[in-house]
Structure 1
Amino acid sequence: MSQRNDKDDVPEFILENARSSEPVPQTDRIYANKVLNLGNIKCFGFDMDYTLCEYISPEYDELAFRVAKTHLVKMVGYPEGILNLEYNPGFPVRGLWFDKELGNLVKVDELGQILVCIHGFRKLERAEIRAKYPHEIQRNDKDRIFIMNTLFNLAETHLLASIIDFIDSEENIVHTENGWILSGGKGKKTLTFKALFQDCRETIDYVHMDSMELKKLTVADLPRYVKKNSCLLRMLRNIKDGGKKSFLLTNSDWWYTQIIMKYLLNDENSDEDEWMSWFDLVIVDGQKPRFFSSGTPLLRVDKKTLEKIPVDSVALDSNPGGLVYSGGDHTTFTNMLGVLEPEIIYCGDHLYADVVKCRKECDWRTLLVVPELVYEGTVIQNERNILKELHHLESILKEDVPELEDVRIKVSDCIQRFDTAFSESGSLFRSGSRLTYFGFQMLAWADLYTGSVANLGRYSLNQRFVPPPLVLPHEIIEPVHHIPS
């Protein structure tokens, strides 16, 4: 008689969750800023672009850069020399602010203190920064500042920097504080940094949304631009088998969404809409961050004709499975899902639209997806000796030592070496020991954060996430220094 295996009667999803209690590799971990018990979560929501759909970098960024610069030359009338500009993946970092008045890319801390300032590809020295920005501070003035919040903005960041660098090096131009006076066949023309920004912003919007040129090129070669991650199915299966609900909420339209999601979740033998079975609701054209405040009119999408049909409020009581909705707001869909707001966790990559605005306007919990996290963590490990040296030097600055100016110079050199180890624009999260605006906002607003949303599949659905203890400066116990009498 064969020995009975107790595991024979245990559902697979419980076994998978039990296995997930094993230590998770650092590259796949989820990090907590707030206490969050997944056992209290009844519904998981997912963004698509850069969340479920991971675009391959730098190939996708180079594609967006190439399409945008071509549009600027062919359709807007910029110099043909811009077509020769090349994308350098080692330059841009997300989270930079573009100063439309002075044409600078600036990295700031939570109070607007400037950590790094770049004009074109040239980093400004501290004396130059002080001359342009009183007290080396730039506030988040919406008329003057545009924040490069998303990974979609990497190509735009590089486009602005490279065009400014290109025009700065041209002959027959006059530099002004706010741009240039260009000389050409039709006489002199003034081009301000603000006008350049507006042209680039409208171009990015056009190639992404209006013409859908970037989307058409992406779907024409999906393996080149979109990462197919088999771990997504394991994660979604865990959620479904665990009796939890899930939904897709994306700003993308239905035409593009269904192509991407079929590629990610269907196999060659699947029915066309099989991927939708993983979600209790599918919402396109979400228009986040507005989705979390006033919302937009709720429509239903005809999956075949793409026609958008007004939704009768009575129909919201029916089973939404297999339907596709357009627009709406967070309150409507929370009610349709039949759960309370704190029982939903929404996973997205856009710090402001997916996390900050969500947490300000409703009680959904949030998981921020930060694809740069694995790379940044690797750099910190590789450069930990520089970081230790920096912390040592900064501790010396607290003392009254005669070599104070020499120490300051060494600190500045340490920060420069540490920052450039990440990219030419530094780290997404910090400059030396100081958090960037992005890093501070992530810490303040995101309940959890991780490098890939698929990492959820590595954890039990009852996982309790607890952040490290937050210690105030006066609570740190230090050695007692006796003051000489």
Structure 2
Amino acid sequence: MMALRLRSALQRSGRLLQPRGAHRCLASRPLEALLPTHVRNLLGTTPPPEKVFANRELRMADVKAIGFDYDYTLASYTNALNAFIYDRAKDHLMERSHYPAIDTSYDPSFAIRGLLFDRRTGYLVKLSYARAVAQDAAFLGRRRLAPEELRRAYGPALHCDPHRVADDMSQFNDLFALSEVCLLADVVQLAVDRGIAFDASALAEDVARAISHVHISGALHDAVRGDPATYLHPIEGFESLLASLRASGKELFVLTNSPVPMLETGMKYLLGDTWRDAFDVVVASARKPKFWRRDQPFRAVSTHGYVKWSRASGRDLEKNRVLLGGSLAELSRLTGWGSEVLYVGDHVHADLREPRRQGWATAAIVRELERELDVVNTAEYKALHERSVEADQLLTRVQALGDVRGLDALEDEREAIRVQMRRSFNENFGSVFRHRADATAYAFALKQHADIYTSRLEHLLACADSTRFYPTRCRLLPHDP
């Protein structure tokens, strides 16, 4: 009797251990039962297409301050900008470096973000996350390389060791770089066509110097200032979206490597003359990625446009002055911000890697995502994807039978399907995010350094303070259920 009373008391208190197998009731209990009735009713409707994707869980309510890069984040440039950079850099090569006549023009359909230029061979390549060269996505100039050429350069596994990638390859991970990639390929092709012996590293250095000259000479700023509508995409409802974030209690700031004149031109076009009122802090000429690691004071720009000689202080923030240089450590001291910051940028390495290491949340703007989603949602691509999955499953079943006859034919068919799928994205290099069954090096970096990502800034700005981002569960390894 005493034992029964004790058992009853333990059951009421919840301290009695459940019998083996009792946990199965959790698996059988409908999860929808945990939700309010009005939410359950909404589950029967078609949800809006996902626009912001999560690599890790993030609650907007936990974010106290949101920072923005400028180029390709606040400022979304048109293809006309890369065409301008290409043409001016081409002129620089001919006029300053005495290159022969280059009669090509910028081709926005040639390259994708995330490519690498091998300064030993002159090859333009796409790498997987494991540093394997994509066999049908490698070029010398404008010529697609044959598999045997790649095997001679990188061995039968087409693998690049990390030292070679770091020491001998130039990486192009932002949209500004597409003009450089295109010009570099055209210069290599010019040398090949004319039979001119060349050192790939020297050509890469010449092109990089010419591209840099366009940025630092002021020519790019002059072009954008003279005709901002040609070079900048407007953001619909930009001012009201930023105001909504501030109304929810968020502090907003700009943190960019761009100089003040370039920043002023673009932001005045996007938000008007009072654009600074939309932000609590504005930092220009930040020199990322050094900004994240050094400890250096800011200098403020006076209302008359002069750089003050003294170290910037909290008083400069109160007067809404633009700050120059500085560091993350100094920004934290001036603002009191801790780790409850979300920083939004387009370059996964220069913009996002270091702030995430410092404890900030990060968001990436990836414009190509929009087009890639359009492609994968077409009936043609879906049919190819289903056919590819069917081929994979059949290969596994045939292999398990122990009879390899027919595997070669199936593999050939699967490769033909995959080639068609890849070229749906870009005829030359395929998807920015995937090659065959693997993530690209760029996609791997995006997963590492961005907590969330989207194709357009306005998708993120439109998220309510109550928004919670949840990642889609992915299989970690093939055995994972």
TM-score (norm 1): 0.83
User: Matched residue of 2:138: which SS?
Assistant: strand
Q: Is the 8 A contact 1:308 1:326 kept in 2?
A: no
Give the structure 1 partner of residue 25 of structure 2: none
Greater Cα offset, 432-441 or 94-103? 432-441
Cα distance between partner residues in 1 of 2:46 and 2:466: 15
TM alignment of 1:9-408, pairs within 5 A: 25-26=48-49, 29-56=51-78, 58-80=79-101, 82=102, 84-115=103-134, 116-134=137-155, 135-140=157-162, 141-170=165-194, 173=195, 180-181=196-197, 191-209=198-216, 211-266=217-272, 272=273, 274-294=274-294, 296-311=296-311, 315-316=313-314, 319-341=317-339, 343-360=340-357, 362-382=358-378, 383-398=381-396, 399-400=398-399, 401-408=404-411
Cα distance between partner residues in 2 of 1:438 and 1:292: 21
Give the structure 2 partner of residue 13 of structure 1: none
Greater Cα offset, 45-54 or 133-142? 133-142
Q: Is the 8 A contact 1:281 1:320 kept in 2?
A: no
Give the structure 2 partner of residue 16 of structure 1: none
User: Matched residue of 1:105: which SS?
Assistant: strand
For 1:48, give the aligned amino acid: Y
Structure with the greater relative contact order (CA < 8 A, sep ≥ 6): 1 or 2? 1
Identity %: 28
CA offset at residue 25 of structure 1?
Answer: 4.5
Q: Is the 8 A contact 2:300 2:316 kept in 1?
A: no
CA offset at residue 354 of structure 1?
Answer: 1.0
CA offset at residue 195 of structure 1?
Answer: 0.3
CA offset at residue 331 of structure 1?
Answer: 2.1
Gap change, CA 1:405 and 1:475, over 3 Å in 2: closer
User: Matched residue of 2:210: which SS?
Assistant: helix
Cα distance between partner residues in 1 of 2:47 and 2:212: 39
Give the structure 1 partner of residue 42 of structure 2: none
Gap change, CA 1:73 and 1:296, over 3 Å in 2: farther
Gaps of 5+ in 1: 1-21, 174-179, 182-190, 267-271, 478-485
Cα distance between partner residues in 2 of 1:207 and 1:325: 24
Q: Is the 8 A contact 1:290 1:296 kept in 2?
A: no
For 2:151, give the aligned amino acid: R
For 2:67, give the aligned amino acid: G
Cα distance between partner residues in 1 of 2:99 and 2:175: 25
For 2:368, give the aligned amino acid: E
Deviations 1:41-82 (A, max 9, x none): 0001011110011001x22221111111111111111001x1
Cα distance between partner residues in 1 of 2:84 and 2:317: 41
Cα distance between partner residues in 2 of 1:321 and 1:470: 48
Give the structure 1 partner of residue 40 of structure 2: none
Q: Is the 8 A contact 2:115 2:172 kept in 1?
A: yes
CA offset at residue 147 of structure 1?
Answer: 0.6
CA offset at residue 334 of structure 1?
Answer: 2.3
Larger radius of gyration: 2
Give the structure 2 partner of residue 14 of structure 1: none
Gap change, CA 1:412 and 1:333, over 3 Å in 2: same
1:449 aligns with 2:453: yes
Give the structure 2 partner of residue 8 of structure 1: none
Q: Is the 8 A contact 2:295 2:330 kept in 1?
A: no
The RMSD of aligned alpha carbons is 1.9
Cα distance between partner residues in 1 of 2:47 and 2:226: 36
Q: Is the 8 A contact 1:289 1:358 kept in 2?
A: no
1:461 aligns with 2:465: yes
User: Matched residue of 1:346: which SS?
Assistant: strand
**Structure with the higher strand share, 1 or 2:** 1
For 1:346, give the aligned amino acid: Y
Gaps of 5+ in 2: 1-44
